[in-house]
Chains A and B, each alone.
Chain A
Amino acid sequence: MSSKIVQALRETLFNEAQYNYLKQFCIFQDLSLMQLKQVNNLINRREFKEGECLFEEGYPMEALFFVESGDIELTSKLGGAPQKLGKGAILGMIDAQLEGGRRSTARAQSNCVTYAISITDLNYLIDHNPVLGIKLLRAIAKYFSQTILHCLNR
């Protein structure tokens, strides 16, 4: 009973439902309501039409893209087969950790809905909010581990 009242209060006071969309992305799954709210302040919804470019190889790296729907193709002049990414994928995570701008080109294969956040803003959030920072960094490490494991198993 009391938990239901607390839940109702949270939903009334903080409009909790409006931040739930962030939970579909693995790196935000462990965040609390207030932490989700802080991320939500900085995130932008971007829609891309089929064939539209999200970013090109060689461009400066500034935004991480989280794919909510649609298909995106990643290609690189360095070689390798083009990669197809869909719902839940995160674009730019490796480029964000390394200097030198974008290492691939991302193009929408169908109409896409993405959420984007500036890496400068995300780093600021991590630097100035240790609890949130640890949760995010742990989730990012898990994301990288799963990606490496996935590559090894292919």
Chain B
Amino acid sequence: MNWTKLVFNIFLILLAGLAIFFYRFIFVYLGTAILISFILDPLVSWFERRTIPRWFSIIIVYLIILGLLAFSGVRLFPLLSNQAQSLFAQFNGDLDAETLLALPLLKDVYSIAQDLDASIANLQSAKLLTDTLEKGIGLLGSLPSMLLDNVAAIVGTISFLATVPILSFFVIKDKYYFRKKLISLVPNRYYELTLILINKFDETVGRFFRAVLFEVIVVGIMATIAFSIAGVPYPFLVGAIAGLANVIPYFGPFSGWAVSALAILLSGLNPVQLVWSALAMYIVQVVDNNIVYPVVVGTTIRMHPLVVLLTVITAGWIGGIIWMLVSVPLVYIVFSLVKVTHDNLKAFRII
């Protein structure tokens, strides 16, 4: 046994452990930068193929994104903000059980409950309905204050948003350098296997996240148009939420519709609107499942609904809404990569 080599390897492992401990706080930053590099790389490569240096291609892409964000900031965000404020205003003390009971659907339900109370002694179903509504309003009313209480988190997010593009710049610019360095560490026996895995990782992760981003935008736009036609209040806000929630298979579209239903009920519109909004969401889903998703992703996520549900619930416990949104794609990607690795380890007779 070569003791010098062994001691050196142990030293390297210890050094790597120390480095991981030292840099542990920036892993989320680096992970996000890598994710952004996956999304932007095709556009950067497109410019690079037109003989524009890579660093300059990245600057061009950044300027395009900055332009789009500036446009959104001027046109789209104020609209979304106004709609969100109008919706939240309904929870800010203006709303009580009496106001809700004046809404057409609840008024009918309340009158049935009163009739039942008159027929059956001590039933008190009308009181139960009033109490339930009061509790529901209290719960929903705490939402805006929850957002305001997280000012520190918002400031942290701003510093995060400022740092990540800089990290992304270097990740994209030196992509090939990092790739070469990584491959150079691999022994010859595993060289071709590593190439296959890197390419598969590039294809699966890159294509998947690009597709998800594209799908969120397309479904968001389609849902906004469909909800506007169906007469749903706050169509921009509800459409944007529906687009974002669509990332979660099976349950995402339902969540989008649930938000539209909430907006309809709180605005005191005719409950028949619920049917129209459901139809609007259904049409959006048909177009998404049959045209948008197959075209941009190619294959659908083949995960059992029970696995999706368990994943979403677990992610919700661990990290809230953000984790609920990213958990299903992450589980799918990890599963796909493990499968590819297993198949190729067998093909190369390593296992």
A pairs with B: yes
Report the nearest B residue to A119, measured CB to CB: B195
Q: Is A137 an interface residue (CB 8 A)?
A: no
CB neighbors of B among A41-69 (8 A):
41-42, 44-46, 48, 52-56, 59-60, 62-63
A34 to B347, CA, bound (A): 36
Cross-chain pairs A/B with CB under 8 angstroms, 13 sampled:
A34-B51, A38-B49, A44-B184, A44-B191, A46-B188, A56-B349, A60-B192, A62-B192, A62-B196, A101-B347, A116-B191, A120-B196, A121-B199
B192 pairs with A55, CB closer than 8 A: yes
Contact string against A for B residues 191-223, beta-carbon threshold 8 Å, 1 for contact and 0 otherwise:
110011001000000000000000000000000
Q: Given the known A-B contacts A44-B183, A46-B191, A118-B199, are A59 and B347 also in contact in the complex, defined by CB atoms under 8 Å? A: yes
Q: Closest CB of chain B to A98's CB: distance in Å?
A: 17
Q: How far is the CA of A41 from the CA of B192 in the complex (A)?
A: 17
Interface of A is mostly: mixed
Which one of A45, A52, A63, A121 contacts B192 once the chains associate, using CB atoms below 8 Å?
Answer: A63
- The yes or no answer to B180 lying at the interface (CB within 8 A) is yes
A residues near B347, Cβ cutoff 8 Å: 59-60, 101
Using known A-B contacts A41-B176, A42-B176, determine if residue A59 contacts B191 with beta carbons closer than 8 Å: no
Using known A-B contacts A42-B176, A59-B348, A129-B49, determine if residue A48 contacts B188 with beta carbons closer than 8 Å.
yes
**A150 at interface, CB cutoff 8 A:** no
Task: Say yes or no: B180 contacts A44, CB within 8 Å.
Answer: yes
Select from chain B the residue with minimum beta-carbon distance to A14: B53
CB neighbours of A63 from chain B (8 A)? 191-192, 195
Q: Which chain A residue shows the least CB distance to B184? A: A44
* A128 close to B (CB within 8 Å): yes
Q: Considering the chains assembled together, what is the distance between the CA atoms of A52 and B191 in angstroms?
A: 13
- A59 and B48 CA atoms in complex are apart in Å by 34
Main secondary structure, interface of B, reads helix
- A45-B191 Cα distance, complex, nearest whole Å: 11
- Contact of B344 with A by CB under 8 A: yes
Provide the residues of chain B in CB contact with A101, threshold 8 Å: 347
Interface size class of A (residues with CB under 8 A): 20 to 34
A:91-108 near B, CB below 8 Å: 101
The residues of B that contact A41 with a CB separation of less than 8 Å are 176
Q: Is the CB of A120 within 8 A of B51?
A: no
Can you name the residue of chain B whose Cβ is closest to the Cβ of A131?
A: B49
**Inside 8 A of B349's CB, which chain A residues have their CB?**
56, 59
Contact status A52-B195, CB under 8 Å? no
Across the interface, which residues of A come within 8 angstroms of B348, CB to CB? Answer: 59-60
A101: nearest residue on chain B (CB-CB)?
B347
Q: How far is it, in angstroms, between the C-alpha of A22 and the C-alpha of B200 when the chains are bound?
A: 26
Distance of B53 from chain A, by nearest CB (Å): 9
A42, B177: Cα distance in complex, Å: 9
- With a cutoff of 8 Å between Cβ atoms, the chain B residues found around residue A55 in the complex are 192
* Residues on A with beta carbons closer than 8 Å to the beta carbon of B184: 44-45
The CA-CA distance from A46 to B349 in the complex, in Å, is 21
In angstroms, Cα B51 to Cα A129, docked, is 11
Give the shortest distance, in Å, between B145 (CB) and chain A (any CB): 51
Closest to A59 in B: B348
Query: Which 8 A-B pairs have CB atoms at the shortest separation, nearest pair first?
Result: A41-B176, A62-B192, A118-B195, A120-B199, A60-B347, A62-B195, A63-B192, A34-B51
Given known A60-B347, A60-B348, A128-B49, contact A52–B196 (CB-CB < 8 A) = no
CA gap between A121 and B179 in the complex, in Å: 13
Q: Is the CB of B196 within 8 A of A60?
A: yes
Q: 17 other contacts beyond A44-B184, A45-B184, A120-B195, with CB at 8 A cut-off?
A: A34-B51, A38-B49, A41-B176, A54-B188, A55-B192, A59-B192, A59-B349, A62-B192, A62-B196, A63-B191, A63-B195, A116-B191, A118-B195, A118-B199, A120-B199, A121-B199, A129-B49
